[in-house]
Structure 1
Amino acid sequence: MPARGTDPPPSAATLRRLERASGAIATRAVARMDEDLPWFRAMPADQRSWVMLVAQAGIASLVEWCRNPGRPPRLTGEVFGAAPRDLVRAVPLKQTVDLVKLTVEVMDDHVESVAEPGDAVPLRMAVLQFSREVAFATAHVYASFAENRGAWDARLEALVVDALVRGERTEELPGRTAALGWAGTEPVTVLVGAAPPDGDAHAAVRRAARSSGGEVLVGVHAEQLVVVLGGAEDVAAAAARVAEEFGPGPVVLGPVVDRLSAAGGSAAAALAGLRAARAWPGAPRPVSADALLPERALDGDPLARAALSERVVLPLRGAGGEVLETVRAVLAGGGNLEASARALFVHPNTVRYRLKRAAELTGQVATDPRGAWTLHVALALADLDGGRSLWH
């Protein structure tokens, strides 16, 4: 920072008087803050005391600066080093500017009483120029804090996403997510897919999520982009918007859960779906992990196999032999209802009624290609499991 130029410095006697008066000036500055700034009155006592120390350090730095006109001021350490870093979190930049402004005004008010005869103008000019240096130092402190906080947040976010992907249940998760600004946002779901090849997608994903009214945690895990999406009113619409920011290939949406601590299950299902998605080349983007249950089961996912049994096989078996027999006949007949009716010796309307009942129970339509595939895989796996139980 450049020196003060040709302005004459205050005399040594004036600087000694200013140094002796620094405590009283700082006390008066804090009193003015208390009078003029309602938010300052509401601050805890420890933070108010730190502000007092910063004001005193600022006056001391002014004295030292005036005694050594050619020395660049080191205000970041000399002035703001008196306060802990927590104070930067507690006091926003705009409020800090108000504090500096009031302190400078109080110092200016004391110029006449502190300066030796003929020294008022040099001291006032020194205060004015010093306040400019303080403004630059303030901006530097907050810019450095923002940069460091951004790097810390990125590391913390990566730890949270990694813990969810690994299915870890850690007591630190609520505190870590709260530090990232995630405050009980629900519902929650997880999207996974390829990371974009052209660089960091974090900012684009955040914009996409917030445009849909949601919040996100973003991480890259083994070259896969993992997005934890929460708080969106329309989860499907928000997921579709966020999916646009992924790299080429499938994007899988995990099941919706009611809290972040349960997002590990959503992530596990989404990752299993991503591994199996290659078996469904025409899958929509994003595709839900539940829609990929057949492929996941064939890929060896025990959770998918159990889900097919619970959602498809058991309801069909519980509905009675006629419904299950009809579903098997329609699958074997390629969806031809008339042929299935002849094979079962019933009217086609009876077949339609039974298929409607099966669809109500399982959510799968036997005459729809995708529904037929899901039913076929679920029943085949159940038959294999039943065969194993006979042999063991």
Structure 2
Amino acid sequence: MVTGTGKAHLARADRLQKATGALATAAMAAMDDELPWFGQLSAQDRSWIGLVAQSGITAFVDWFRDPEAHSSMPTRMFGSAPREFTRVISLHQTVELLRTTIEMIENTIGDLLPEDDVPVVREAMQRYAREVAFAAATVYAQAAEMRGAWDARLEALVVDSVIRGEADESVRSRASALGWTGTANSEVAVVVGRAPSSDTGGTNVADAVRHVARESGADALCAMQGDRLVVVLGGTSKPVETVQRLTDFFGPGPIVVGPVVPDLMAAVTSARAAVAGLRAAPAWPAAPRPVQADELLPERSLSGDGHARRQLASDVYGPLTLGDGVLLDTVSTYLDSGGSIEATARALFIHPNTVRYRLKRVGDLTGYSPASPRDAFTLRVALTLGRLLNPDPGSSIL
């Protein structure tokens, strides 16, 4: 049985329902007058917003009539909007729409309803507006979460294409959609290290890597691939300096930086060297962190990396075979003599200063100084590989 108070409330709700058409028309007019960006939207977008406004006003009337029976109305009112609604206007603009509509209703109901109805409706509108604001925030949060999940999958696909050497114009387009600003001539380097522990959260790590790289003036694409973390850096000719700021986001163990290549299309060369370097890095426990893949050439060659073998043979052994081959004989004898200049001079029947001069020439030609233990090891491996790959010094390196 409906009491007198209940009948009065239902009558008030009926009067409010009759005014919904006028309220919706006034809401659209208020948006057009008070929000400059609203008039710049397309007719279709404005019609969708009008539909949401009409739905919201109708939902408010139903909720006002029976709040318990229509408690989900504030959330359901956005169901009439297409999925693209959140891409058309921002959350800030949505709040402006809600504020404009609520202010319009509060200023208009005095002309549409009896004086006794106005305070009750205004109080109800304030309660309802709070629920609508929470509903709007939920809609945008869900949309952002979906976009974040999609972006993460797209980013993983781009990084996988780079690793597998399948980068083409479509990969560049996808990278651009993810915020990659590198031009066709933007230098790129691939970085590979162990993935952080599972409790760190892969998505948060990727966001942090991109943020720090951006602060360093570089682009970054990041993806987890099993137990390794792969970062593609762009727009930087000194990737090691950038990676030094990213080391905390990797798991324990080596971090290998591939060589710099001209653009994203050539990034497979950098990726291949970085992956091979990560596999070979345990053979050099004292390696810096991060370490460049080219610093691991001897370890990479010993672990089966054919590219590293050919690089050592052509870039280190090859130059030493030019001319009369005295540099090759000198450095070979120096290494066999345990790094002794005097022993080398006696073995070659030359003055020690001549040995020093020739060793300096070796360093200038190859970039490796025989006097450095680490460089001497690289030279030893390069000479061994050069002789295996090119038994005849007069022929070209395979």
Q: Structures share a fold, TM > 0.5?
A: yes
Provide the rounded CA distance (Å) in 2 between the counterparts of 1:233 and 1:85.
41
User: C-alpha displacement at 1:111, in angstroms?
Assistant: 0.8
State the secondary structure of the residue aligned to 1:199: helix
Provide the rounded CA distance (Å) in 2 between the counterparts of 1:180 and 1:92.
19
Of 164, 179, 182 in structure 2, the residue corresponding to residue 181 of structure 1 is: 179
Aligned letter for 2:299?
Answer: E
Cα gap change, 1:41 to 1:346, in 2 (>3 Å):
farther
Runs of 4+ in 1 over 6 A off after TM superposition: none
User: C-alpha displacement at 1:383, in angstroms?
Assistant: 0.9
Instruction: Give ranges in structure 2 of 5+ residues lacking alignment.
Output: 1-5
Map of 2:296 onto structure 1: 292
Deviation string for 1:93-137 (max 9, x for gaps)?
A: 222211211111122222122224632333333332221221111
Provide the rounded CA distance (Å) in 2 between the counterparts of 1:370 and 1:31.
73
Cα gap change, 1:29 to 1:74, in 2 (>3 Å):
farther
Range with bigger deviation, 284-293 or 216-225: 216-225
Map of 1:217 onto structure 2: 221
Range with bigger deviation, 9-18 or 306-315: 9-18
Map of 1:136 onto structure 2: 134
Instruction: Give ranges in structure 1 of 5+ residues lacking alignment.
Output: 1-5
Of 331, 338, 343 in structure 1, the residue corresponding to residue 335 of structure 2 is: 331
Report the TM-score when normalising by structure 1: 0.87
Listed as ranges, the matches of 1:188-267 within 5 Å are 188-197=188-197, 199-200=199-200, 202=202, 203-204=204-205, 205-206=208-209, 208-210=212-214, 212-231=216-235, 234-267=238-271
Cα gap change, 1:334 to 1:99, in 2 (>3 Å):
same
Range with bigger deviation, 283-292 or 219-228: 219-228
User: C-alpha displacement at 1:8, in angstroms?
Assistant: 4.5
Map of 2:287 onto structure 1: 283
Aligned letter for 1:25?
Answer: A
Of 368, 373, 377 in structure 1, the residue corresponding to residue 372 of structure 2 is: 368
Provide the rounded CA distance (Å) in 2 between the counterparts of 1:201 and 1:289.
27
Deviation string for 1:349-390 (max 9, x for gaps)?
A: 22222222222221111121121111221121121123499x
Aligned letter for 1:53?
Answer: L
User: C-alpha displacement at 1:304, in angstroms?
Assistant: 1.0
Map of 2:28 onto structure 1: 27
User: C-alpha displacement at 1:312, in angstroms?
Assistant: 1.2
| Paired residues, number | 382
Listed as ranges, the matches of 1:1-392 within 5 Å are 8=9, 11-32=12-33, 36-75=34-73, 78-116=76-114, 118-184=116-182, 186-197=186-197, 199-200=199-200, 202=202, 203-204=204-205, 205-206=208-209, 208-210=212-214, 212-231=216-235, 234-387=238-391
Map of 2:3 onto structure 1: none
Provide the rounded CA distance (Å) in 2 between the counterparts of 1:12 and 1:75.
16
User: C-alpha displacement at 1:251, in angstroms?
Assistant: 1.7
> Is the Cα–Cα contact under 8 Å of residues 193 and 246 in structure 1 kept in the other structure?
yes
> Is the Cα–Cα contact under 8 Å of residues 76 and 141 in structure 1 kept in the other structure?
no
Identical-pair percentage = 48
Aligned letter for 1:370?
Answer: R
Provide the rounded CA distance (Å) in 2 between the counterparts of 1:359 and 1:211.
37
Range with bigger deviation, 371-380 or 77-86: 77-86
> Is the Cα–Cα contact under 8 Å of residues 62 and 70 in structure 2 kept in the other structure?
no
Provide the rounded CA distance (Å) in 1 between the counterparts of 2:118 and 2:366.
89
Provide the rounded CA distance (Å) in 2 between the counterparts of 1:10 and 1:290.
83
Provide the rounded CA distance (Å) in 1 between the counterparts of 2:298 and 2:11.
84
State the secondary structure of the residue aligned to 2:16: helix
Provide the rounded CA distance (Å) in 2 between the counterparts of 1:264 and 1:199.
30
Provide the rounded CA distance (Å) in 2 between the counterparts of 1:9 and 1:319.
105
Cα gap change, 1:72 to 1:64, in 2 (>3 Å):
closer
Cα gap change, 1:172 to 1:91, in 2 (>3 Å):
same
Aligned letter for 1:173?
Answer: V
> Is the Cα–Cα contact under 8 Å of residues 212 and 246 in structure 2 kept in the other structure?
yes
Provide the rounded CA distance (Å) in 2 between the counterparts of 1:209 and 1:201.
18
Provide the rounded CA distance (Å) in 2 between the counterparts of 1:12 and 1:239.
64
> Is the Cα–Cα contact under 8 Å of residues 9 and 69 in structure 1 kept in the other structure?
no
Provide the rounded CA distance (Å) in 2 between the counterparts of 1:76 and 1:304.
64
Deviation string for 1:314-371 (max 9, x for gaps)?
A: 2222354222222222222222122222222222222222222222221111121121
Report the aligned-residue RMSD: 2.8
Deviation string for 1:299-323 (max 9, x for gaps)?
A: 2212112211332122222354222
Cα gap change, 1:350 to 1:44, in 2 (>3 Å):
farther
Map of 1:3 onto structure 2: none
Aligned letter for 1:298?
Answer: L
